[in-house]
Each structure stands twice: as structure tokens, then as C-alpha cells.
Amino acid sequence: KGGICKQVLASEVKIGDEIELRAGMRVALDSEVISGKAFVDTSAITGESLPREVKNGDILLAGFVLKDGTLRAKASACESESALARISKLVELASTNKSPHERFISRFARVYTPVVVILAGLIAFILPFIFDEGFAAGGFEVWANRALIFLVISCPCALVISVPLAFFAGIGAASKSGILIRSSAVLSTLARSKSFIFDKTGTLTKGVFNLNLVCSDKLSDKDFIAHAAHATSSSNHPVAKSLGAAHAKMQPDCKLCGKYECSELSGLGVRAKSSSDELLAGNAKLMRDCSISDFEYNCWHEGSIIHLALNGRYKGHALLGDELKSGAKEMIEGLKNAGINTLMLTGDNEIAAKAVAKELGIDRFYAGLLPEQKLELLERELGGGVVAFVGDGINDAAALARADVGIAINAQDVAASAADVVIINSDIRALSKAFGIAKRSRGIAWENITFALGSKIVIMVLGVLGLAGIWAAVFADVGVSLLCVLNAIRAGRK
């Protein structure tokens, strides 16, 4: 502050304070770069092996390490709300929220333990009278020995240790790839998913729009973009940012002055007012809801369309093109090969949505939706098997929270808090990896349950019949536990 730089604890830094970062330093707080350029190692947080270049306006997460250069950044979160703090909270939740398999083992152990102790007592004190001549004939020593062998064999260590370990190993493998899973229960539920529902913009597409076409016979292209950029200047929506970039490219000397008082209309667009003008920029529904005169819409090009109205009169529309994320098509193909149904929900127009769904091979899609309509359609899908919803923005938070499994891609704040799974970077391919890890962890847990119970039951029967001695009992306890643990560790492979 005041041009003075001093070293302080991360807990003392407030949101908005400027911090200086030098080569070799680990970022302590989530922050936004305000000057400088450098390469940062993001592997601790995102799992990416290659350093990433950051510059003015880019986001730094706590845990990143500067490889070179010097940066000045502005703190965007306090220490308790940083990326590292959120990861720590997720780890704590993962250790307390048990999967159905773990809950089954806990309930099973509460019943199983007293039952086997009672059975061992029956073997030692009752069977000598049934199969021998009682204690006097030396039968007690034989059956007491068999009862002890029975107890050793029946020890449930293999189940109690290896089943939770399979899920913890899976959560660890996911975190190495930049995938944060809230708990082992979430991992188990994700493995049983039958349908994946996707948001479009920012999830399946990059959310970086390029201006392709302006259709207006009432304003020049330059004036149209200037009005649209002024109207949306206070919005963080990807379309608004793209319009601002197009305006800066067309008129680099003309800054967005902020003379308009802007209000965002969820799922519709933006209304901006000044002392003399009112601008509306958004979708066709906004134009109809506001009864804009002369509204005509006959554009059949593929892409996202933003309409503009000035003082109640329609001025035309602009066509914006969004790019698919790298790996999105392969991810959808992988899910479909695994028997997963895919559905896309978007607020974009029907033409743009249809083009994306067709290119990716998505089974069904719904376009022109408001956030509450997305939630209604999600509710309709629930009940037909486990449903996972994949989104990235604040407008997806309700759907992320309502779905059986909410998955946030490169999300911050509200969306990340509402999600059960957070993919820190924007690599959509991590979704297939998360699903694969979940399937593998759940499969290994069932393998351990089946193998442990099956082998113990067989050897217990042999022990009661006198066909299995103490070494067989040791194998049934320690050996089976070791084999199950080694099998569970396989879930930790990336």
C-alpha cells in the first residue's frame, strides 16, 4: 500500500490488496494479475504437467508456483476461501461422507461381529455334545481349537480396510488430474450414472465468441457494436465480453464510458438506461417480452445471436460464433460407448444448439431455456436412473445442487460450492477420466467384497469340519486382507 512493499502473512491480506510475486514463489491467495507476464506451474492444483503463461487479467489460484518473471496481482479471495482452502474442505468431507459400500460394511460389521462370536461359542461348547461324547471324552479341546480357528478366519479386516481404501485411492487419483470429488459417496454415485446433462456455453464450448456478422439496415456495423458493447459493459457473460472485444478492435480510441445504468435479465439479456436512451440487448424472447416494434428475425446462420433495440425500436442482430472445446467430441463418444445417455440444455437459440448437438453427437437437446426451465427439465429426468449435471456458471448452480451428481467445469464461487465434483481446469476430457475412475473404484470395491466374503466363508466351513488349520486361518485373515489392499491400490492409478 502507498508504494511500500512488505512481507505479511497470507491471513492478513484483504480482498483487493496488491501482492507481488517473484520467480520460485508459491501463490498463497487466489488473485488476478494486474501487471507482468510469467510462466506458472499449475500441477499442484490442476494436474497439468506443462507450465502455463499468465499475463494481465489472468487468474492465479493458491498453490500455483511461479517459474520465472515477476507479477503484481490483486487478491480476489481471503485465505479461508482460496482454492487450497476449498480443496482442504473437500478432503475433509471425503473422509467423513461414506459411500453406500462403506455404510454397508459398517452395518455389516455391527451384526457380523457378535454373530461370529456367538457361533464360535456354539462350536466350542455345543458341538462337542452333538458330535462327540461331551467334555469328558476330550471333545472340548478339539472343538475349542476349531472355534479359535473359526474366529481368526472370520476377522473382517479385509472388508473394513480395503473397501474404503478403494474409494480413497480413487479420490486421490482424481485429484492428481485436477478433479476434486467431494466424498466417496459422490464417487460411488457417479459410477452409477445413467444420464449426463450438459450446459453448452463455457462447458462444451469455449465461451469465447467471435463476431461473424452484423445484420442491420438501420445502423452501421460500427454503431451497432458500439451500442451493444455499451449495453452489456457491466455483464460478465461471455457474449458481453466478446462484444466488448469487438468494440475495442473496431474503435480502439473509444472507451466504454459507463454512462448507462445496466441491469441483467437472467436468461434474456441486458437492459441499459441513460438520461436519454434505453438499450435492450439479448435474445428473441427479450425482444418479444418487451414488445419491441419492428422486431423481425429471419437469420438462418448457425451461431449465437444477440438482438439490439434502441428506445423501443428494433435495430438488428449480430451473429457470434463459439468454438467447441478441444476433446469435447471424444468425451461424448466415450460416455456413449459406456452406455450413457447425453442431453444438452442451453439458453442459446435453436439453430446454434442444433449445430453443436449434431457435431458432438449428443442424443437430445433443448434450446432457448431460462435457468428455471433448465431446472424443470432436470427434475423431469430424475427418477430414470442416476443423473449427472455438468455446468460452469452461477446460472447452473441450482441444477448442480439438484442433480444426483453436480459437476462444475473450471467454475468458481457459487457454482463450485454447489457441485459435488469440481474439474479445476477447463479440460472437458477430465470428465471421462472422472467417470472412468469412479467406475474402476466401485468395481474394485465390489471385487474386494466378493473375494473377502467368498474366501472367508469357504475357509470357515473347512475350519469347522477340521479340514483347515491355523495357517489357513492366518491366510484367510492376513493374506486375504493384504490381497484386498493391493487390489484397492489399483484404484489410485491415474
For residues 130-148, average pLDDT: 71
Q: pLDDT value at position 95?
A: 46
Q: Which H or E element spans position 320?
A: strand 313-324
The angle that helices 139-154 and 100-125 make with each other, rounded to 10 degrees, is 170
- 185-189: long-range contacts, CB 8 A cutoff, minimum separation 24: 185/97, 185/98, 185/99, 185/100, 186/97, 186/405, 186/420, 186/421, 187/99, 187/437, 187/438, 187/441, 187/442, 188/99, 188/100, 188/101, 188/438, 188/441, 188/442, 188/445, 189/386, 189/404, 189/405, 189/420
Q: What is the rounded CA–CA span in Å between residue 72 and residue 22? A: 9
Q: pLDDT band at residue 411, thresholds of 50, 70 and 90? A: low
Q: pLDDT band at residue 362, thresholds of 50, 70 and 90? A: very high
Please, are residues 195 and 342 in contact by the beta-carbon 8 Å criterion?
A: yes
Q: pLDDT value at position 305?
A: 83
- For 163, 179, 303, 386, the CA distances from 192, given in Å and listed in that order, are 17, 18, 35, 6
For residues 455-464, average pLDDT: 86
Percent of the residues in the chain that have a pLDDT greater than 90, as a whole number: 9
Domain edges within the chain: 10-77, 82-204+325-494, 208-323
Residue 428: helix, strand or coil by DSSP?
A: coil
Q: pLDDT value at position 395?
A: 66
pTM of the model: 0.66
- What is the chain's Cα-based Rg? 30
For residues 13-34, average pLDDT: 84
Q: How many CB atoms lie within 10 A of CB 274?
A: 12
301-320 tens-digit pLDDT: 666 788 888 888 888 888 88
Q: pLDDT value at position 330?
A: 92
167-184 tens-digit pLDDT: 888 988 888 888 888 888
- For 168, 170, 335, 452, 492, the CA distances from 444, given in Å and listed in that order, are 12, 10, 20, 12, 11
Higher pLDDT: 211 or 238? It is 211
60-115 tens-digit pLDDT: 888 788 887 788 888 888 877 776 676 566 545 544 555 565 666 667 767 877 88
Q: pLDDT value at position 94?
A: 44
Which one of 30, 41, 199, 427 is the catalytic residue? 199
Q: pLDDT value at position 196?
A: 94
Across the chain, what does the average pLDDT equal?
81
Q: Is the pLDDT of residue 136 over 60?
A: no
Query: CATH assignment of 10-77, given 3.40.50.920, 2.70.150.10, 3.90.120.10, 3.40.50.300?
Result: 2.70.150.10
Q: pLDDT value at position 342?
A: 93
Question: Which has the minimum average pLDDT: 50-54, 156-160, 323-327, 360-364?
Answer: 50-54
Are the folds of 10-77 and 208-323 the same?
no
3 alpha carbon, distance to own chain's centre: 40
Q: Which H or E element spans position 473?
A: helix 470-474
Q: pLDDT band at residue 414, thresholds of 50, 70 and 90? A: low
Q: pLDDT value at position 197?
A: 93
Question: Which has the minimum average pLDDT: 13-17, 219-223, 256-260?
Answer: 256-260
Give catalytic status of residue 199 as yes or no: yes
Q: Is the pLDDT of residue 46 over 50?
A: yes
For residues 108-130, average pLDDT: 79
Q: Is the pLDDT of residue 257 over 70?
A: no
Class of domain 208-323: alpha beta
Q: pLDDT band at residue 363, thresholds of 50, 70 and 90? A: very high
Locate 239 and state its grid cell. 457474449
317-353 tens-digit pLDDT: 888 877 888 889 999 999 999 889 999 998 777 888 8
CATH no. of 82-204+325-494: 3.40.50.1000
